[in-house]
Amino acid sequence: MCLGIPMKVIEINGDFAQVASGRLLRNVNIQMLPGVKSGDYILVHAGFAIQKVDPKRAKETLRIINEIR
């Protein structure tokens, strides 16, 4: 099973973005998602941004994930 985690874009540096989910910070490749900007929520899988996500939906998904932990 594959799991993509919604993360918020903090900063963009060329083809990479620093993203956050809670206290977790990661640098991910954003080449597959042209037009990504700071403040966007994206789905991250295996170090790659694979899809933009509606902020409301991203926050709800993160809330559910936090309940499971």
| pLDDT per residue as tens, the chain (69 positions) | 567 889 999 999 999 999 999 888 999 999 999 899 999 999 999 999 999 999 999 999 888 888 886
pTM score of the predicted model: 0.88
Q: Kindly report the CATH number that applies to the domain delimited by 5-68.
A: 2.30.30.140
CA dist 46 and 28 (Å) reads 9
